[in-house]
Amino acid sequence: MSGWSARRFWTTATAVPVEAGFTVHLDARPVRTPLKAPLVLPTRALAEAVAAEWQAQEGRVDPEAMPFTRTANSAIDKVSPRPAEVAAMLAAYGATDLLCYRAEGPLELVARQAEAWDPLLDWAAQALGAPLLVTTGVMHVNQPPESLAILHRRVSELDPFQLSAFHDLVALSGSLVLGLAVTEGRLAAREAWTLSRIDEDWQISLWGEDAEAAEVAARKQAAFLQADRFFGLCG
């Protein structure tokens, strides 16, 4: 991106108001995305979070340590040119939502899933007007078309910055309902993540935890919580 260097060259990164929102200056030089678009952000809070990431860089710049910047770049370069396509892709998770596919056994796991997930499906039916059907095993269940249409409209209301964060909330959890529950204030992100991990945690309770799998899960959880923070800074 313009303003990018393998090593830090600037003294101060600051959030700066511009005509369409806010951007970040490295000294007097505006940051641009990897596709050379101006990095224009919707809120000062988000611009300040991005600026803080740049300010925290020492020596060589580490993009992996800049999740707000990466998500903002994605919103501008990847989502803004095709928001309807991204919204449709995310809304499609409703057709195979994690919360709708239940274990056939053992009874304790079945009960655990029902206790955790049924209230969220009730919320989707009552608050969103989008009831979804539950099945057992892996056999596909056709969800009501009117419910899927309602969920699609809900996702389509999000702007490109919100969609970029929402993508991680849905893709990492495997659940459109959980993603919406977080963004609409029904659940805290950490609780939603725990609910998405019921099957995995059940297996861990039986067989113990693999160190490599635990590391992957921790990275995914961090990305999930980061997406929630990014979404909150967009409005």
Mean pLDDT, range 39-68, rounded to an integer: 95
What integer pLDDT is reported at residue 1 of this predicted model?
38
Tell me which residue has tokens 């309902």.
177
Q: What is the pLDDT of residues 57-79, one digit of tens each?
A: 998 889 899 999 999 999 999 99
The model's pTM: 0.94
CATH number for the domain that contains residue 185: 1.10.3580.10
What is the rounded CA–CA span in Å between residue 78 and residue 73? 8
Domain count, the chain: 2
Give the residues across from 20 on adjacent strands: none
Three-state DSSP class for residue 196:
helix
What integer pLDDT is reported at residue 59 of this predicted model?
86
Are 92 and 75 within one domain?
Answer: no
What integer pLDDT is reported at residue 78 of this predicted model?
98
What integer pLDDT is reported at residue 4 of this predicted model?
47
Element (H, E) at 146: helix 145-156
pLDDT at 3 over 60: no
Are 126 and 188 within one domain?
Answer: yes
Cα dihedral angle (87, 88, 94, 96), rounded to 10 degrees? -130
Are 75 and 96 within one domain?
Answer: no
Give percent of the chain with pLDDT exceeding 90: 91
Contact criterion met (CB below 8 Å) for 91 and 156: yes
CATH number for the domain that contains residue 37: 3.30.2180.10
Tell me whether residue 3 is in a domain.
no
What integer pLDDT is reported at residue 6 of this predicted model?
65
Are 180 and 214 within one domain?
Answer: yes
pLDDT at 208 over 50: yes
Q: Which domain holds residue 31?
A: 13-79
Q: What is the pLDDT of residues 109-165, one digit of tens each?
A: 999 999 999 999 999 999 999 999 999 988 899 999 999 999 999 999 999 999 999
Tell me which residue has tokens 């160190």.
211
Are 132 and 224 within one domain?
Answer: yes
pLDDT at 2 over 50: no
Tell me whether residue 178 is in a domain.
yes
What is the rounded CA–CA span in Å between residue 73 and residue 70? 5
pLDDT at 207 over 80: yes
- Token pair belonging to 31: 């940051």
Tell me whether residue 59 is in a domain.
yes
What integer pLDDT is reported at residue 93 of this predicted model?
98
Give percent of the chain with pLDDT exceeding 70: 97
Are 36 and 130 within one domain?
Answer: no
